[in-house]
Amino acid sequence: MPVIVNKYLIGRHFVGIALWPFIVVKEPFLKQDEAFINHERIHLRQQAELLVLPFYFLYFAEYIIRLIQYRNSQQAYRNISFEREAYLNEDDLNYLKTRKPWSFIKYW
């Protein structure tokens, strides 16, 4: 899983993103942040389970649903099931070793 540094990452709120099969970060120091990298690795696993393109479709569709639900972009983002799973488990560096396939579903 290569980590790429790109200071021109789109959007001022983005510091990193998982784009199969890469993790792209805005700042070099983020490559050393174990919890951050684990968060992005969880997204890579989610993407692999959904064969990549359906992940992006479902992610965007759920974001729209949550945006309508919460009427707040940050709250909508934090409540996407993929993000909930990643945020709640990013500090558990062994999570991916024990994670069951399609675990994001229980965060819906």
Q: What is the pLDDT, as a whole number, of residue 65?
A: 98
- pLDDT over 70, % of the chain: 99
Which residues span the domain enclosing 84? 3-107
Q: What is the pLDDT of residue 13?
A: 76
Query: What is the average per-residue pLDDT within 74-93?
Result: 98
Beta-bridge partners for 22 = 19
Q: How many CB atoms lie within 10 A of CB 107?
A: 16
Residue type present at position 85: E
Using CA atoms, how far residue 89 sits from 5, 36, 41, in Å, is 24, 11, 11
Per-residue model confidence (pLDDT) at position 79: 98
Query: CA nearest 86: which of 66, 104, 62?
Result: 104
Tokens of 93: 């560096």
Q: What is the pLDDT of residues 16-34, one digit of tens each?
A: 999 999 999 999 999 999 9
Burial class (CB in 10 A: 0-12, 13-18, 19+), 18: buried
pLDDT tens-digit series, residues 35-78: 999 999 999 999 999 999 999 999 999 999 999 999 999 999 99
**Considering the chain, what is the average pLDDT of its residues?**
95
The count of structural domains within the chain is 1
Query: Which pair of tokens denotes residue 3?
Result: 């980590």
